[in-house]
Amino acid sequence: MYMIGEIITTLFSKFPLVGAIGAVAIIMAFSYWFANLIGQKRMGSAIAIVISLALAFVAGKTTGGAKGISDVTYFSGFALLGGSMLRDYAIVSTAFGVKLENLKKAGLPGVVSLLIGVAFSFFVGVIIAVALGYNNAVDAATIGAGTVTFIVGPVTGTALGASSEVVALSIAAGVVKSVVTMIITPLIAKSIKLDNPTTAMVYGGLIGTTSGVAGGLAATDSKLVPYGAMTATFYTGLGSLICPSIGYMIVKMFL
């Protein structure tokens, strides 16, 4: 028995990345199964993220470490799979399939909504962060960026050298946004006139979290999904571009 345990430990320490991929696959399979069960198919990825954050919480409590699941020997591969190198590599690839003519078609309302959307979420996040005691410009900008999306938060945090605690907060803010979007969109669609392609594009540009927008629109009117997703695709890129640069500089002027 001891020998078998030893071999299993060897497997996890020799192939950490493969182990992490397998573990994430299991988390996602469970999340999508659960999402289907509660009739919210598109919430699968949001649920998987919440489960992962919960596991990181449990791991942090038991190991006392600061790197979540990756502090558990068996799951050290999470640090490779979820590290900034592969994350940025994968994010860049999502720009593939964006058509220049669609970029032009979204036109003025799309561009206006993107700029206002990123700036609005960023500064709401910054103001709330400062109001609750995160007075340091790096912390406030990272939390503000997380309020933009859960990708922009860690990208900004890494660029500015924020602590893992603040990066985790920024991801949590982005996840809250994504989940709230999926739940609230179908409820208030009528009152915000979300019933035609133009407002769907504006909506995608203002909210920006691709999973939230796709999920929320699918629950409202599936015909609107591509229009919202079209502008939402640019949101994370725009946020990654301006939050750690212009955004941070503006925050730094006030703090």
Q: How far apart are CA 195 and CA 210, in angstroms?
A: 19
Least Cα distance to 234 among 210, 213, 254 occurs for 210
Number of residues this chain uses to bind another protein (CB under 8 A)? 112
Residue 176 or 229 with smaller CB distance to another protein: 176
Contacts of 184 (CB under 8 A, 6+ apart): 216
Residue 180 interacting with another protein (CB under 8 A): yes
- 72's enclosing H/E stretch is none
Shortest gap between Cβ of 255 and another protein (angstroms)?
15
Shortest gap between Cβ of 2 and another protein (angstroms)?
29
The mark string for 73-112 relative to another protein (x by CB under 8 A, - otherwise) is --x--xx-xxx--xxxxxxxxxxxxxxx--x----xx--x
Residue 1 or 108 with smaller CB distance to another protein: 108
The greatest distance separating any two alpha carbons of the chain, rounded to the nearest whole angstrom, comes to 67
Hey, what are 171's tokens? Answer: 């991801």
Q: How far apart are CA 116 and CA 113, in angstroms?
A: 5
Reported for 62-68, long-range contacts at CB under 8 A and 24+ positions apart, including other chains, are 66/164, 66/165, 67/164
Site for another protein in 156-175 (CB under 8 A): 158-161, 163-169, 171-175
Q: How far apart are CA 198 and CA 81, in angstroms?
A: 38
Shortest gap between Cβ of 113 and another protein (angstroms)?
5
Residue 155 or 219 with smaller CB distance to another protein: 155
Residue 244 interacting with another protein (CB under 8 A): yes
Site for another protein in 198-227 (CB under 8 A): 198-199, 202-203, 206-207, 211-212
- 105's enclosing H/E stretch is helix 100-131
Residue 6 or 165 with smaller CB distance to another protein: 165
Other C-beta atoms lying within 10 Å of the C-beta of residue 156:
29
The mark string for 12-31 relative to another protein (x by CB under 8 A, - otherwise) is --------xx--xx-xx---
Question: Which segment (4-12, 34-42, 196-204, 218-226) binds another protein by CB under 8 A?
Answer: 196-204
Site for another protein in 40-69 (CB under 8 A): 45, 48-49, 52-57, 59-61, 66-69
Shortest gap between Cβ of 117 and another protein (angstroms)?
6
Other C-beta atoms lying within 10 Å of the C-beta of residue 254:
9
